[in-house]
Amino acid sequence: MDTDLGPHGTETVCQTCAIELDRIAEAAMLTGQDLELLQQPRRRINANIPVRMDDGSIEVFPSFRIQYNSARGPTKGGIRFHPGVDKTEVDELAFLMALKCAVVGIPFGGAKGGVQVDPKELSEGELERLSRAYVTEYHDSIGPQTDIPAPDVNTDGQIMAWMLDEYERIEGEHAPGVITGKPVELGGSRGRTSATSYGGAVILDAFLDAEDIPPENISVAIQGFGNVGSYLARFLDERGYDVVAVSNAAGAIYDESGVDIPALHAGYESNEDLFDLDTAEITNEELLTLDVNVLIPAAIEDQITAENVDDVQADAVLEMANGPTTPEADQILADRGVPVIPDILANAGGVTASYFEWVQNTTNEYWTKATVQEKLNQQMQTAFEELNEIKRAGDGNRTWREAAYTRAVESVLEAERLRSNIPTGAHA
Ligand code: NAD
């Protein structure tokens, strides 16, 4: 295992983090020292993990764990299994996690992990051995009070169960708080599966309310009908929104009078095809440019770009995926006055419910789904109101993303200042 310590080590800064921070540096009065501290992770760890394959051969998988900032609490973030995973991507995702936890005011720092692997190529046994080996490699760096992993792209409750079991085997005792996103039987939280979407629905309601717009007859297009997109479609449908288009990697469907979301969601849960419904098919590109009130990217990163942003007709964008809008497209939307509710607020319901899971593991007191949703509602509402205040302060010209970054960065820097990791008074 190889460890790089920042911020004065030899590693380069996280480029995307630096771009985003530069944007708010002036308004948030960030000093050079603030920026130096925020532009690179506190700790990068990487390991090449050997795994015995079913045919007896050994394959080695590059892997990462980035602990971006721990000033506000133990670092927190998912583990991604994907062939495209690299240090740069994990850096950016860890940075977003640090900001996300601060935006919603939960006492965690930010982290992310990843393994360069296509899990579809592995047998179940190989996947289990890789998951356990990841924990063996990083065991000394994770823990309920140090760094708490969770699922991310291509990792799920079963993988969390293997990882938890491996950690507890090494420790020789139960330690459910080391990992969130676990199955309920192993200490997972009720309501976690749909929490990201539930939080997104709360934020969209709050946004419309702040703009004095009733949710009835608000048309919505959702890109991505996986965990986040499908539950969000259901919550919005129940709240009276018109979900007129949804998509997955295979394509999109569109019905001006509203897609049959209950049928579609039932299909998602039983793994049926989206396109079994008798509804007009459109392309994913067309979905992004539909004339709807709210466009909701809930699939993957870099979907609204400099190339297609001029065709985006939506009145507002709710970012449920991580990083779906490129910085160039974001600027163009801001210039056009199209509000973009940023990922670090819109999809923070997931990590908030993970925090609730950790609290339940720590106190050994377990809550009903209704209690989880009630607490989630309260936490997300409060976060929204705080950002709304920051947004309206001064000349009122901040975008939602700038308000969210400002709030998050101020909170992280205050924690660093209290720990004397930056000079007192260095941050105004
Ligand atoms: P998922 O794998 O369950 O679903 C992803 C969906 O996107 C699938 O329907 C897939 O077919 C679709 N998709 C993939 N590529 C596409 C493309 N090019 N065009 C249209 N659709 C495409 O993943 P998920 O858990 O729903 O996560 C979606 C996004 O939300 C990711 O960016 C993830 O990082 C983010 N997110 C998820 C959570 C969570 O709790 N699951 C929390 C925070 C953020």
Query: Ligand 1: which residue has its CA nearest to atom 30?
Result: 321
Q: Is residue 64 part of a domain?
A: yes
Nearest atom in ligand 1 to 93's CA: 34
Retrieve residue 320's tokens.
């449920």
CA of 419 to the centre of ligand 1 (A): 37
Query: Ligand 1: which residue has its CA nearest to atom 13?
Result: 249
In order of 102, 207, 293, 345, the CA distances from 333 in angstroms are 25, 17, 14, 18
Same-domain pairing of 75 and 158: yes
Q: What is the domain count for the chain?
A: 2
Q: Is residue 426 part of a domain?
A: no
Query: Ligand 1: which residue has its CA nearest to atom 15?
Result: 249
Residues with CB under 6 A from ligand 1: 196, 223-229, 247-249, 284, 298-300, 320-322, 347, 350
Q: What is the 3-state secondary structure (H, E, C) of the chain?
A: CEEEECCCCCCCCCHHHHHHHHHHHCCCCCCHHHHHHHCCCCEEEEEEEEEECCCCCEEEEEEEEEEEECCCCCEEEEEEEECCCCHHHHHHHHHHHHHHHHHCCCCCEEEEEEEECCHHHCCHHHHHHHHHHHHHHHHHHCECCCEEEEECCCCCHHHHHHHHHHHHHHHCCCCHHHCCCCCHHHCCCCCCCCHHHHHHHHHHHHHHHHCCCCCCCCEEEEECCCHHHHHHHHHHHHCCCEEEEEEECCEEEECCCCCCHHHHHHHHHCCCCHHHCCCEEECHHHHHCCCCCEEEECCCCCCECCCCHHHCCCCEEECCCCCCECHHHHHHHHHCCCCEECHHHHCCHHHHHHHHHHHHHHHCCCCCHHHHHHHHHHHHHHHHHHHHHHHHCCCCCCCHHHHHHHHHHHHHHHHHHHCCCCCCCCCC
Say if residues 327 and 20 touch (Cβ distance below 8 Å).
yes
Q: Is residue 162 part of a domain?
A: yes
**Of 165, 186, 207, the domain-final residue:** 186
Characterize the bridge pairing of strands 75-82 and 147-151: parallel
Q: Is residue 33 part of a domain?
A: no
Same-domain pairing of 109 and 172: yes
Separation CA 138–CA 49 (nearest Å): 10
Q: pLDDT 10s per residue in the chain (428 long)?
A: 555 544 444 456 777 788 888 888 887 889 999 999 999 999 999 999 999 999 999 999 999 999 999 999 999 999 999 999 999 999 999 999 999 999 999 999 999 999 999 999 999 999 999 999 999 999 999 999 999 999 998 999 999 999 999 999 999 999 999 999 999 999 999 999 999 999 999 999 999 999 888 777 899 999 999 899 999 999 999 999 999 999 988 889 999 999 999 988 887 766 666 777 778 889 999 999 999 999 999 998 899 999 999 999 999 999 999 999 998 999 999 999 999 999 999 999 999 999 999 999 999 999 999 999 999 999 999 999 999 999 998 787 889 999 999 999 999 999 999 999 988 764 44
Nearest atom in ligand 1 to 324's CA: 32
End-to-end CA separation in angstroms for the chain? 39
* Helix axes 261-269 and 227-238, enclosed angle (nearest 10): 150
Query: Ligand 1: which residue has its CA nearest to atom 1?
Result: 226
CA of 193 to the centre of ligand 1 (A): 13
Nearest atom in ligand 1 to 301's CA: 32
Top mutation candidate among 227, 230, 254 for ligand 1, by most atoms within 8 Å of CB: 227
Same-domain pairing of 66 and 170: yes
Q: Is residue 282 part of a domain?
A: yes
> Which sequence positions are flagged as catalytic?
112
CA of 226 to the centre of ligand 1 (A): 6
User: Who's near 341: CB < 8 A, 6+ residues apart?
Assistant: 203, 204, 207, 316, 317, 318, 319, 400
Query: Ligand 1: which residue has its CA nearest to atom 25?
Result: 227
**Of 130, 158, 186, the domain-final residue:** 186
Quote the pLDDT of residue 5.
Answer: 47
Query: Ligand 1: which residue has its CA nearest to atom 43?
Result: 347
Say if residues 301 and 323 touch (Cβ distance below 8 Å).
yes
Separation CA 251–CA 99 (nearest Å): 32
Residue 422, amino acid: I
Max Cα distance, the chain (Å): 65
Retrieve residue 375's tokens.
């607490």
Same-domain pairing of 265 and 170: no
Q: Is residue 303 part of a domain?
A: yes
Same-domain pairing of 89 and 143: yes
Same-domain pairing of 147 and 226: no
Quote the pLDDT of residue 8.
Answer: 42
Nearest atom in ligand 1 to 196's CA: 40
Same-domain pairing of 222 and 334: yes
Q: What is the CATH number of the domain that holds 267?
A: 3.40.50.720
Same-domain pairing of 56 and 165: yes
Q: Is residue 400 part of a domain?
A: no
Quote the pLDDT of residue 269.
Answer: 66
Q: How far is CA 288 from the centre of its chain?
A: 21
Same-domain pairing of 223 and 293: yes
Same-domain pairing of 216 and 272: yes
CA of 298 to the centre of ligand 1 (A): 5
**Of 186, 216, 250, the domain-final residue:** 186
User: Who's near 32: CB < 8 A, 6+ residues apart?
Assistant: none
CA of 282 to the centre of ligand 1 (A): 19
Residue 157, amino acid: G
Please give the residue range of the domain that contains residue 109.
46-186
Q: What is the CATH number of the domain that holds 98?
A: 3.40.50.10860
Top mutation candidate among 106, 112, 300 for ligand 1, by most atoms within 8 Å of CB: 300
Separation CA 275–CA 152 (nearest Å): 26
For residue 36, report the phi and psi dihedrals to the nearest 5 degrees.
-60, -40
Residue 62, preceding peptide bond in cis (omega within 30° of 0): no
Query: Ligand 1: which residue has its CA nearest to atom 28?
Result: 299
Same-domain pairing of 142 and 94: yes
Same-domain pairing of 174 and 291: no
Q: Is residue 40 part of a domain?
A: no
Residue length, the chain? 428
* Helix axes 15-25 and 327-335, enclosed angle (nearest 10): 30
Quote the pLDDT of residue 220.
Answer: 98
Nearest atom in ligand 1 to 195's CA: 40
User: Who's near 132: CB < 8 A, 6+ residues apart?
Assistant: 162, 163, 165, 166
